[in-house]
Structure 1
Amino acid sequence: MRMFLTPFWMKMVYPGKHNPDDHIVFKVHPQMTKYDVQQYLEKLYDVPVMRVRVKSVFNDLKPRKLEKKMVLAPHVDRIKAEPERYEKIAYVHLAPGHTFKFPDIFAEKTPSDTLTKLADQAKKLASAGEDKDYEKVKEHIGTTKPSKTLQKIDKTNRIPSWFLG
């Protein structure tokens, strides 16, 4: 069996907390229509689809560099935008009886768990006395002299002498 695939792509996007389980959101190739999205899901992945809505979303990137002739044209609003400035979002409503729950891949890990582990390790190192280098650096900081530029500072105006010329 030979299968020809178009250069279309689909990327699943997190729909939000309050989205029903039978709705899925995709970011799709800009040339895909709602019929393409429906056939893509039904024929390649055997996902029964009831309805598809497609919406183009404008990305406000840096301003386009237009020639002066085009800026002075009477119908500037009719200039076509670059295709990269648009994304297409597909809202897929699954057939009755089918649901999809977006996977929570970070359910087991939370940032607070990692931070508490790091804090515990830091306490163990401090109590074991393995942080002797830090103490040496701390002693060295108190014995250093201020730099020459700071010594040349005019005491009344607090402006460095090199700045005054």
Structure 2
Amino acid sequence: MRLPPELRYLYQSLTPRYPKWQPGNPRHRLFFPQFWMRVMRPLENRPIRPNCVRFECHIEMTKDDIRNYLEKIYKIPVLDVTTYIDQ
């Protein structure tokens, strides 16, 4: 499967810094996640169990970030998070 050039190297994209609060700004602000995640198909030579999902995510995301992202935004219960960096 060939990806378009803008999606090929997602891990190289930078996350923008959080905006600073300044006096006079609105009191109620919405903060959206600065990270990205996408669902990946299982590798052909390495099948996974039916209750597991494989994601590609931003390299700066930690296990806690991934867990909170899925639980708080999508309301998905997460039992375990395993990460590895593939280069």
How would you bin the TM-score normalised by the shorter chain? Answer: 0.5 to 0.7
Matched residues, percent identical? 34
Which one has a larger percent helix, Structure 1 or Structure 2? 1
Which residue identity lines up with residue 51 of structure 1 in the other structure? D
Q: Secondary structure at the match of 1:35?
A: helix
Name the CA distance, whole Å, in 2 between partners of 1:46 and 1:3: 18
1:6 aligns with 2:33: yes
Q: Kindly provide the CA deviation profile for residues 106-164 of structure 1, in whole angstroms up to 9, marking residues without a partner as x.
A: xxxxxxxxxxxxxxxxxxxxxxxxxxxxxxxxxxxxxxxxxxxxxxxxxxxxxxxxxxx
1:21 CA displacement = 1.0
1:22 CA displacement = 0.9
Name the CA distance, whole Å, in 2 between partners of 1:13 and 1:33: 18
Q: Secondary structure at the match of 1:57?
A: coil
What does 1:2-151 correspond to in 2, within 5 Å?
A: 2-16=29-43, 18-58=47-87
- Structure possessing the higher radius of gyration over alpha carbons: 1
Which one has a larger percent strand, Structure 1 or Structure 2? 1
Taking structure 2 as the reference length, what is the TM-score of the superposition? 0.60
Name the CA distance, whole Å, in 1 between partners of 2:35 and 2:53: 18
Which residue identity lines up with residue 6 of structure 1 in the other structure? P
Unpaired runs of 5+ residues, structure 2, are 1-27
Name the CA distance, whole Å, in 2 between partners of 1:44 and 1:3: 13
CA RMSD of aligned residues (A): 1.7
Name the CA distance, whole Å, in 2 between partners of 1:12 and 1:23: 11
Aligned length: 58
Unpaired runs of 5+ residues, structure 1, are 59-165
Q: Kindly provide the CA deviation profile for residues 64-113 of structure 1, in whole angstroms up to 9, marking residues without a partner as x.
A: xxxxxxxxxxxxxxxxxxxxxxxxxxxxxxxxxxxxxxxxxxxxxxxxxx
Name the CA distance, whole Å, in 1 between partners of 2:60 and 2:33: 11
Which residue identity lines up with residue 42 of structure 2 in the other structure? P
